[in-house]
């Protein structure tokens, strides 16, 4: 089961509707990365259609599998940080 499917399922269990400010945000993909002031960020494509730069530490905590898949697909697993 994908991360996004799990989040949608959890939101339904707790009675949250899409667009509810207390619902959990889901994202479609990670599409890019950059290093800013010594810290890595990833460009997250959200289910809402928005895209934002997020600290890699945040995504690592919330969805380490998707982050690892992005890193593997982009040859980043041997990079520091």
- CATH number, residue 22: 2.40.50.40
- Give CA–CA dist 49/34, Å, rounded: 20
Determine the 3-state secondary structure of 28 from DSSP. Answer: strand
Rounded to 5 degrees, what are φ and ψ at 53? -85, 125
Which of 15-19, 25-29, 33-37, 39-43 is least confident? 15-19
> Does some domain include residue 81?
no
This prediction's pTM: 0.67
> Does some domain include residue 36?
yes
> Does some domain include residue 78?
no
Rounded to 5 degrees, what are φ and ψ at 65? -65, -50
User: Which residues form the domain of 37?
Assistant: 3-73
> Does some domain include residue 79?
no
Contacts of 34 (CB under 8 A, 6+ apart): 40, 41, 43, 53
Q: Which pLDDT tens digit goes with each residue over 37-65?
A: 988 999 999 877 889 999 998 888 888 88
């Amino acid at each position: 089961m994908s991360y996004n499917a799990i989040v949608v399922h959890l939101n339904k269990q707790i009675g949250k509707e899409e667009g509810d400010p207390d619902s959990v945000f889901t994202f479609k993909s990670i599409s890019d990365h950059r290093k800013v002031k010594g810290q890595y960020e990833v460009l997250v494509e959200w289910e809402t259609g928005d895209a934002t730069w997020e600290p890699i530490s945040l995504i690592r905590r919330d969805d380490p599998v998707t982050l690892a898949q992005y890193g593997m697909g982009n040859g980043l697993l041997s990079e520091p940080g």
